[in-house]
Chains A and B, each alone.
Chain A
Amino acid sequence: MTQTDQIFRVLSWIIGLFCIAFLMLPIFITLAASFTSSSVYTLPPPEWSLRWYASLGRRNGLWDAVVLSLNLAFISTVISLVLGTLASIAVTRGNFRGREAIATFTVSPLMMPGLVVGVALLQFFREIGLRDAYWSLLLGHIVITLPFVMRTLLASMSAFDFSLIDAARTLGLSYPKAIFKVLVPNLAPAYLTSGLFAFLASMDNYPISIFLTDARNKTLPIKMLQYLEEQPDPSLAAMSSGLILLAVIVLAFGARTVGLNRMIQG
């Protein structure tokens, strides 16, 4: 342990602490701004008040957007978990060429420009005559959630001992039953983590959704950006604080059941 080592160590801690503060800053700013009594963003707030939380109830269409976003996130995540489980088993257990390519392809939407995927979907749905905004959004959101599920399930299944499935089958379970009763419970942390992140990614998506909405079906991020353009008062900070609360609840649940350390491995 030389002096240079010491300097490196202290430096990495200083930057690490700065990093924590930097990452948490937007969260604290949003929370502080939401409890202001003023109608503009002044920090620190002149006086604390809950008036912007109360004003949320008067926002037109906010509740519809929340319900639509929750609905899309939940259904698309469930569908992705089913499709992702099947495809991950095929890739980990199958014995055919191109498994690596399938893995890359199914995870690739994560790294593609969201807006480009959104535009492509808009034109594709128009081409095939799908006009219903809800169905377009749902299909689009499966494209958003599936790669999150694939990424985590592929990693955890490659470490799973599949002889357990064979054992369950010798004991008389059918293959689908063995998967459902042995594989899924064993990989519960992976399912929970990938499900949570897929759900949150769907809740948050803007670039794909913006091309697929219509006047009646607007998801929460789209509605929030619209409010920002029309009437940017601190009620947006109150809305954001609601979403922060949702994230905290989801994480507290994840941390208790899976542990934070396992969640980041996904």
Chain B
Amino acid sequence: MSSRVDRIGLLAVPGLAFLALVYALPLLMLLAKSIQTPDGLSFAEYSAFFADDYNMRVLMRTLRVAGLTTLLALLIAYPTAFAMNRAKGPWLTVFLVAMVLPMSLGVVVKAFAWSILFRANGFLNTMLQWIGLTEKPVRMLFTETALVVGAANVFLPFMVLPIYAVIRQMDSRLPEAAASLGAGPFFRFFNVTLPLSLPGVVAGSAFTFSMAISMYVIPSLIVGERQQTMSMLIARSFLYLRNEPLGATISAVLLAIAVFVVIFSSWLARRLGARQ
């Protein structure tokens, strides 16, 4: 029997070998390339990258946009998950369709739709002028706010669903029990409901943040070349500038952030799990 169990482990070999060869190894080679110079190993590319004001501005913008996107998505998603949890019958179907349909739709399609919406003569400006909030069209396309709104829209389902999954499994009697013991609504929320829903919040935020720092199609359609993000800088250094050491260095920085988010969020999730 034990040989059966050991042989079962071998079933992982094809998939693992594939990912090791066509995913892990190329990433490691890219990292190696970023510290390789004609005269041996050096971190000169990194010091050059971090010394450059422009690069630092792009890095900061990328982190800021990703942070704001995650925050906006969370603010909309958290109450939505509760509404979804209480929804029944056709309303639940409406919620589910509203999550799954945009999720199955390409980023190119959605980013393109937002670029139509944000145009000076686009739908949003027409609406604003019609309501009378503004007389002249407001410039929306090519602004950071537009980027955050568009990105939050694209990643929203990935924030709602993990929170919804956690809330759905939450024992609804717990807040009731707290209430019967005399806990007020705020006390109940901050001491019972919120802590129990945090694993979903962590999972959704980590996923949204890691997708938002590396998004490429959305910023290229909504803000264009004027405000670069890390991903656009990578694409530019490889596809237009043909400066591969620079591209490899920026890639390594972005990769480091992504890996940090993965490790930090799984550590946080484990801690939250242990506490319960």
Contacts and interface: CB of A to CB of B under 8 A. Distances in A.
A219 B252 CA distance: 27
Interface in B97-114: 97-110, 112-114
A205 B10 CA distance: 31
B103 to A, nearest CB: 8
B29 A124 contact: yes
A81 B105 CA distance: 21
Contact of B102 (A27, A109, A115, A264): A27
Contacts, number: 278
Contact of A116 (B27, B164, B207): B27
Interface string A110-122: 1111111101111
Interface centre among B19, B27, B119, B255 (most CB of A within 10 A): B19
A187 interface: no
Contact of B217 (A8, A87, A206): A206
B211 to A, nearest CB: 8
B261 A4 contact: no
Given A91-B12, A95-B6, A119-B238, A16 B108 contact: no
A64 interface: no
A260 B97 contact: yes
A122 B29 CA distance: 11
A207 B98 contact: no
A188 interface: no
A215 interface: no
A197 interface: yes
A197 B104 contact: yes
Nearest to A150: B15
A47 interface: no
B83 A102 contact: no
B122 A264 contact: no
Given A24-B102, A41-B119, A90-B9, A30 B261 contact: no
Contacts of B8: 89-90, 93-95
Contacts of B196: none
Given A119-B251, A207-B214, A260-B100, 19 more contacts: A16-B80, A23-B156, A26-B114, A27-B105, A29-B123, A43-B126, A86-B14, A87-B11, A104-B266, A114-B216, A116-B258, A123-B29, A146-B19, A211-B238, A224-B112, A225-B221, A240-B113, A244-B109, A264-B96
7 contacts: A12-B86, A29-B116, A95-B9, A112-B27, A116-B30, A116-B214, A200-B104
7 smallest CB-CB distances across A and B, nearest first, come from A16-B83, A113-B214, A26-B113, A90-B12, A124-B26, A204-B106, A87-B15
Interface of A: 2, 4-5, 8-9, 11-13, 15-20, 22-27, 29-30, 33, 40-43, 83-84, 86-87, 89-91, 93-96, 102, 104-106, 108-117, 119-124, 127, 139-140, 142-143, 146, 150, 196-197, 200, 203-204, 206-207, 210-211, 221, 224-225, 228, 236-237, 240, 243-244, 247-248, 250-251, 260-261, 263-265
Interface of B: 5-6, 8-12, 14-16, 18-19, 22-27, 29-30, 33, 76-77, 79-80, 82-84, 86-87, 92-110, 112-114, 116-117, 119, 121-123, 126, 153, 156-157, 160-161, 164-165, 184-186, 189, 206-207, 210-211, 213-214, 216-217, 220-221, 231, 234-235, 238-239, 244, 247-248, 251, 254-255, 258-259, 261-262, 266
